Amino acid sequence: MHKWLEKSKSAVFLAFCIVFASSTFAATAETSVVYTINSTKVSITNQTVDYSIVGSSTPVYTVTERFSPFRVVIDVAGATFGESVTSETAQIPDNKLVSLTISDLNNLETPVKRFVFTLADSQDYSVAAADSSLQVKIYPTAIANQAQSTAPKAPAAAKAQYPSVTDPTLDALIVSSEQLMTQDPATLTSNDASSSETDSAQDAFSFSGFKKKRISVDFYKIDIHNVFRLFRQITDLNIIVDEGVSGSLTLALSDVPWDFALDVILNLMDLKKEERFNTIVIYPKSKEFMWPERTEDNLAFEESVEIIEQESLIIEQSSSQSEEILKAKELLVKAQNFEKKDDYEEAVAFYTEAFEIWPDNPKIANKLATIYLVHLGMNAKAVHYAKENLKMDPQNRHAALYAAIGSANMQRIAEASDYFAQSTSGNPPMKEALLSYAAFSENNGQNEATLKLIEKYHSYYGETVDTMITKARVLDKMGKTEAATKQYVAILTSGFQIRPDLKKYISVRVADKN
């Protein structure tokens, strides 16, 4: 598992580490950023891979993470290979730890060279800039865990927001586990057991994917809820247990990863777990569980009545129209008829033909952008026609929103940011623009920006259950647990209709924090 799954209070689902903000790419476009990669170096030793990118100047870059499988994406602005470097020579030799793909993103204002590192489950990573080079290190997760476990303990005041519950049984379990962990390892194995056998067992755990902190436990007919409270202490994660979980357990394990011990217990008790952010939910296998809805990776947009009414004005009567315009209007009628039948491919064919005849009509361009974005999912086409509209009407915030969403879906982050800013510049700003901009910001880990946009939405249009949930979710991602809890309480008392499974999740979470 990777460190983004092991962070506690400040864990985020989409970890987005901006070394230089994505707006830097746009800002540096005018100065023609050029970063010549003169060489790359690879070193593989002791389950660690060191990869260096050596260039001609200080690199401007961003680091993002992707999941399923876990990937580290490094985008270097204005990067080009020098004479002695190619995509083939810059590769990492075949190994079981990491693989690399290199590509060019030439459709941005500033070209970007993208390095995508796909990590094995056993590996973690770090990225650092040193003068004119980038240093990427891929190393075993165990090293990161060891560094974390040997770090100075936080003072007692730092944990004040998590009040302890006195429980003699739980305290006894913790003391018993600590005593087992401090024993001489020789006493935990048979007299004839060799260190090689212990190493073999550790290798077996790692090979099976269990790499968490090791624990020793000795339970005898202990209530299962106390067992899970012990894991709460060990892992420092939120553990929510369904009310349908009950029973007692006897279990003795020595020097095993805690995630292995937890899986053993879940199998014994016929339970399942779901893990997200810094929270584990445990419930019977016979039940179903759903996490609260989150923003989808791709932004969506629904046509509003206002937009539909505006687009219907494309066909207007006038006695002074040229033959070309009249021909275009005939095509628009055909296009709208196909659109009413939800035959959008035929509709855009006629709209496109009409726009070729009547290219100075921004409403046709807007209609094409709408259909390509909303109904056909063709982001590039939507952006193209939105830009055509903006050439004729730079103040058209609907067109700016279409360009923003299409650019965001194509991962053109800097370009999308500019168009989103333009789409929300009105007074008042459009509802759709604020919500889409907030979703975009959250998807890219810009949590502070997300909160500001949600607050701006609330100031103009008031709170909704969806915006309140978004705010609580983002506060959780930022590690602001107390503020997130207050927001969840506000949701429960808001009077809004909440799905039963979501209401139960929030109720349990709030109870767990109090």
Position 471 scores a pLDDT of 92
Run of H or E including 240:
strand 238-241
Nearest-angstrom CA–CA distance, 446 and 221: 47
Position 95 scores a pLDDT of 92
Most confident of 143-157, 166-180, 261-275: 261-275
Nearest-angstrom CA–CA distance, 220 and 302: 58
Look over the chain and give the mean of its residue pLDDT values, rounded to a whole number: 75
Determine contact, residues 84/41, Cβ cutoff 8 Å. Answer: no
Nearest-angstrom CA–CA distance, 405 and 412: 10
Position with higher pLDDT, 23 vs 183: 183
**Beta strand 48-55 pairing with 133-140:** antiparallel
Determine contact, residues 131/58, Cβ cutoff 8 Å. Answer: yes
Determine contact, residues 430/304, Cβ cutoff 8 Å. Answer: no
DSSP state of 31: G
**Residue 72, Cβ density class (10 Å: 0-12 exposed, 13-18 middle, ≥19 buried):** buried
Torsion sign, CA atoms 478, 484, 487, 491: positive
Return all residues near 305 (Cβ < 8 A) that are at least 6 apart: none
**Stretch among 129-138, 318-327, 351-360, 472-481 having the lowest mean pLDDT:** 318-327
Residue 3 has pLDDT above 80, yes or no: no
Determine contact, residues 78/32, Cβ cutoff 8 Å. Answer: yes
Position 162 scores a pLDDT of 31
**Stretch among 113-122, 212-221, 252-261, 347-356 having the lowest mean pLDDT:** 212-221
End-to-end Cα, the chain, rounded Å: 30
Position 458 scores a pLDDT of 92
**Stretch among 39-43, 69-73, 167-171, 380-384 having the lowest mean pLDDT:** 167-171
Give the closest residue to 121 by CA, choosing from 48, 50, 64, 71.
Answer: 71
Residue 4 has pLDDT above 70, yes or no: no
Position with higher pLDDT, 16 vs 284: 284
Torsion sign, CA atoms 464, 366, 297, 447: negative
DSSP state of 292: P
Give the closest residue to 471 by CA, choosing from 442, 510, 494.
Answer: 442
